[in-house]
A and B are shown apart, each in its own frame.
Chain A
Amino acid sequence: MHLSRGEKIFNVFNIIVLGGVGLLAIYPFIYTLSISFSSAAEAIRPGLHLFPRDVSVMAYEMVFSNPDIVRGFFNSVMRTMLGTAITLFFTCLTAYPLARKEMPHRRLILFLILFTMIFNAGVVPHYLLIKNLGLMDSIWALVLPHTVTAFNVIVVRNFFLSIPESLAESARMDGASEATVLFRIYLPLSKPVLATVGLWTAVYHWNQWFDAMLYIASNSKQVLQTFLQRIVIENSTQLVELSIADPIRTEYTAETIKAATVMISVLPMLLLYPFVQRYFVKGIMLGGVKE
């Protein structure tokens, strides 16, 4: 193709600008990663901190020697796995009948589900509900309220609608129950949408902090995001004891410990990210709520 001079200049300019945008997008992470591996003196050195000139893994040792943070990490992993598993199971159960024309009151139920997307009672009634159900200070307070959401149900239902009904018909002729049709015929064909909803839910549970802040009181059940919040935002470093008399004090500072905790919370999302990239975009396209 023939490019004019202006177009050539634009191409170069565009490549440079987007390169800058890309660098700007990851610089905060590079900075944090670099600080987390820095010694105390290196961490307070003025500069951009693209990489640590004086490497120390002491901050990570301090963080990993803190039983609260390690337990918080496992509590977050537990919450993410449990939440994702029950969300996938119950979302499929709910979406399947709503994708079938024979289902009585289908439109009314769909409307009542959609309504939850545009109106909610607010934080106080939800808090009192969890309290009255006796779910306070339990992992169930974190996973049950998010088990079936309107958006997930609609997305899975839309996918089910695209599966030809003749497949289900012939199975039913052979005497298969509805549950069998769902699990043996629909689910094996629905892997892309299940991957999408599963990833959405996993990302949601890993990142969620607000409900844990409200509902979880004991440190032994607390999630990583809350500990991170306490260390980073409320600046309470007593979580990771910082004793001035400590001989290895020159190896870490409050900042390097914050940075190390941030990196530990980012890591699982980075591991999921390649899959997230593959399925999230498809998911956005599946999200159109159409009757």
Chain B
Amino acid sequence: MMWISKSRRALWRSYWKNKGLILLLVPGVCFFFVFHYLPLPGIIIAFKDFRMTEGILGSAWAEWDNFRRLFQGEDFLDALSNTIVISLLRLAFGFFAPIILALLLNEIRISWYKRTVQTLTYLPYFLSWVILGGIFLMIFSISGPINQLLTLFGLSTKEFLADDFWFRAIIITTGIWQAAGYGAVIYLAALAGISSTLYEAAIVDGASRWQQTIHITLPCLIPTIITLFILNLAYILNAGFDQIYNMYNPMVYDSAEIIDTFVLRRMIAMDFGLATAGGLFKSVVGLIMVVIANTAARKLSGGEQGIF
């Protein structure tokens, strides 16, 4: 028992010695505790028949009732499948967009031109979906420029935003439009890291630019591509709440309701138990997937890549 008290004394001594550092850390730790850890016990609302007047502790236990309602009703299962489908569509159509953009930008030898295109494509990433959603609601509206062009060519107008197929097509396209420029920055950084001696050697061997791209550039990008792909898969339950909430309408709930919008609408309808259960399901599955993805990314890259 001697060694415990001895090490405890050593610990206290190190606290005293570093009291200046500890003092600096106190406010930050308080912020994390209050705003990130204090809400955690609120998760038990998922297992309660929550009533605002009775509070979290006072409300009656509902055990697994909220989850039963979640998985026996069709609404949540629809939202879950919409979430996964929209995420997969985003991956299928959007994942390679920043890679292609970066490769094309990398081939431009006129630096002001490259910089200008980069500046323009990068801009939408810094604006909120309230702003961007507002712009696209105007552009795709019945009186907007897209429908006006259709009339000009003698075609009939279409309510794009009220159509299940077109609504999904629009959120995926505008999603790529918003994020591709930003995504390209990450790949351009990886491209800048490729040693120029590789290219010099290839030129000496008589490789064309196309051959250099296939045999040097792409292989060097593969670790980055794999890491980002795995991370994208891990965030599959995030189908783009900000964008969808600011662009959808009751006409397309069938094809566009995702877990996050489902949770928010249940919360606004004061069904806190169901909303918390839906949110908890998403958080737990998300946590598991991120941990798996991170392990996989580390394994595949030999400990180099990974987010944490």
Q: Is A47 an interface residue (CB 8 A)?
A: yes
- B258-289 contacts to A (CB < 8 Å): 263-264, 267, 272, 275-276, 278-280, 282-283, 286-287
B25 & A21 in contact (Cβ 8 Å cutoff): no
Task: Give chain B residues whose Cβ lies under 8 Å from the Cβ of A266.
Answer: 127, 131
Do A118 and B290 have beta carbons less than 8 Å apart? yes
Contact with B along A49-60 (1 / 0, CB 8 A): 100000000000
B38 x A109 contact (CB < 8 A): no
Let me know if A122 and B27 touch, CB within 8 A.
Answer: no
Residue among A114, A276, A277 making CB contact with B308, cutoff 8 Å: A114
Chain B residues within 8 Å of A244, by CB:
none
Question: Residues 22-40 of chain B: 1 if any A CB is under 8 Å from the residue's CB, otherwise 0?
Answer: 1111011101101111111
- Out of A46, A91, A126, A229, name the residue touching B130 (CB < 8 Å): A229
Q: Give Cα distance in the complex from A28 to B42, angstroms.
A: 42
Give every chain A residue within 8 A of B108 (Cβ-Cβ): 14-15, 18
Q: Does A22 contact B (CB under 8 A)?
A: yes
Query: With A121-B43, A277-B122 in contact, is A258–B185 under 8 Å at CB?
Result: no
Asked if A158 is at the interface of the complex by the 8 Å CB criterion, the answer is no
Cβ contact of A25, chosen from B38, B120, B126, B283, cutoff 8 A: B120
A45-B212 Cα distance, complex, nearest whole Å: 50
Query: Are A209 and B276 CB-contacts (below 8 A) given A31-B139, A125-B42?
Result: no
* B148 x A125 contact (CB < 8 A): no
Q: A124-B275, A228-B131 are in contact. Are A90 and B28 (CB under 8 A)?
A: yes
Whether the pair B24, A178 counts as a contact (CB closer than 8 A) is: yes
CA distance A22 to B189 in the complex (A): 20
Judge whether A28 and B185 touch: CB under 8 Å. Answer: no
| A232 x B287 contact (CB < 8 A) | no
Judge whether A93 and B27 touch: CB under 8 Å.
yes
Rounded to whole angstroms, the CA-CA distance of A128 and B177 in the bound complex is 36
Residues of B87-116 at the interface with A, using a CB-CB cut-off of 8 Å, are 101, 104-105, 107-110, 113, 116
Interface centre among A129, A145, A258 (most CB of B within 10 A): A129
How far, in Å, is B191 (CB) from chain A's closest CB? 13
Complex contacts, B25 vs chain A, CB 8 Å: 93-94, 97-98, 103, 109
Among residues of B, the one whose C-beta sits closest to the C-beta of A277 is B119
Q: Is B138 a contact partner of A120 (Cβ separation < 8 A)?
A: no
The interface residues of chain B lying within 8 Å CB-to-CB of A258 are 134, 138
Q: How many residues of A are counted as interface, with CB atoms below 8 angstroms from the partner's CB atoms?
A: 93
Q: How many residues of B contact A (CB 8 A)?
A: 91
On chain A, the residues within 8 Å of B264 by CB distance are 123
Complex contact B21–A209 (CB within 8 A): no
A207, B134: Cβ atoms under 8 Å? no
B24 and A93 contact, CB distance less than 8 A: yes
Confirm or deny: A24 has a beta carbon within 8 angstroms of a beta carbon on chain B: yes
Are B28 and A127 in contact, CB atoms less than 8 angstroms apart?
no
CB pair B279 A18 closer than 8 Å = no
* A–B complex contacts, Cβ < 8 Å, 24 sampled: A4-B208, A18-B108, A21-B121, A22-B121, A25-B120, A31-B138, A46-B151, A98-B25, A104-B11, A121-B42, A122-B282, A125-B276, A126-B39, A129-B34, A177-B20, A207-B130, A229-B134, A233-B133, A259-B138, A262-B131, A269-B126, A273-B123, A277-B119, A289-B307
A: residues with CB less than 8 A from B are 4, 6-7, 10-11, 14-15, 17-19, 21-26, 28-29, 31-32, 35, 44, 46-49, 90-91, 93-94, 96-98, 100, 102-104, 109, 112-114, 116-129, 133, 144-145, 147-148, 153, 177-179, 182, 203, 206-210, 225, 228-229, 232-233, 255, 258-259, 261-262, 265-266, 269, 272-273, 276-277, 280-281, 284-285, 289
